[in-house]
Amino acid sequence: DCASMHEACAIIQRIAPMPSTVLIEGESGTGKELAARAIHARSGRPGGFVAINCGAVSADLLESELFGHVKGAFTGAHQAREGLFGYAQGGTLFLDEIAELPLGLQAKLLRVLEERTVRPVGGNEEIPVDVRIIAATNRSLSSQVAAGRFREDLFYRLNVVSVRLPPLRERREDVPLLARYFLDRLAAEFGIPNPGWDGWDLDQLSRYDWPGNVRELRNVIERCLLLGRRPGHCIGEQGSGAGAHDPEPDLSLEAVERAHILRVLHIAEGNKSEAARRLCLSRKTLDRKLKAWGLPATGC
């Protein structure tokens, strides 16, 4: 366990019960939302956890999404709507990718943080809010400030306490632990026998740089399980040195069919009747195939 990750966990535990605003920084896939949820879970706040990706909503809609709007505020506003600040009342609002927030909305967010009130789009009334803000970014906000793309006053208002989540390449010693966790969880979820990879397999994972971080690691474990492959054939080869001595993956028709059926079962959330429908198979045929592969054929 690397020192920087230990430090991040210690900060999370210490600040969780406090009302202070938190800024979480880290590359994409490092688990920023998981960290935010951990802070909220330990906060003791009675309200819920509400999350929004500021880069995933158009600038025209983002203000209404955050602050709500009154009836008739704009074309299509046939009724009043409460914003996410309202939904998060008494709880935590997680603003992911805060660097994507337009400058005009940055000024309005700053006012909300200072006044603890929101004004719905088209409204005149200031509505009090009790919401803890946790913001996250995969960019350097200080660099964004220097470039004139982020307000300096908002940066200091958000950066009361900062948590840096290190990328996976800086904590390679955590990779085997995370890999075993995902392997156990996903094998149980899919109903697939756990292959129980040995030290060589885990070493292949530890040698890779993981540009997509923990998210990429989870996806690779899932791919390995579904395709019946070992790690050396499921991770990128660039800079990894992995896969040179790994046996060829099983590309037989039966293996491909098995992987596809298990994937559809996962998409259908384990509902075998629904999976059979999507596969254009009878339920009886699906059960027979699962039984032949040594997988449970009972259930809905």
Left, alpha or beta for 47 (phi > 0: left; psi -120 to 50: alpha)?
beta
Tell me the Cα Rg of the chain.
24
H or E segment and range at residue 262:
helix 253-267
The reported pTM is 0.72
118 close to 127: Cβ distance less than 8 angstroms: yes
- What are the C-alpha distances in Å from 219 to residues 96, 132, 144, 191? 21, 32, 31, 17
Q: How many CA atoms lie within 13 A of 167 on its CB side?
A: 11
205 close to 176: Cβ distance less than 8 angstroms: yes
In three-state secondary structure terms, 38 is: helix
Per-residue pLDDT 10s for the chain (300 aa) are: 567 888 999 999 999 999 999 999 999 999 999 999 999 999 999 999 999 999 888 887 898 899 988 787 677 777 888 889 999 999 999 999 999 999 999 999 999 999 999 988 888 889 999 999 999 999 999 999 999 999 999 999 999 999 999 999 998 888 888 898 899 988 888 888 888 887 888 888 888 889 999 999 999 999 888 888 888 778 753 333 344 344 444 556 677 777 778 878 777 777 888 888 888 888 888 888 887 776 665 556
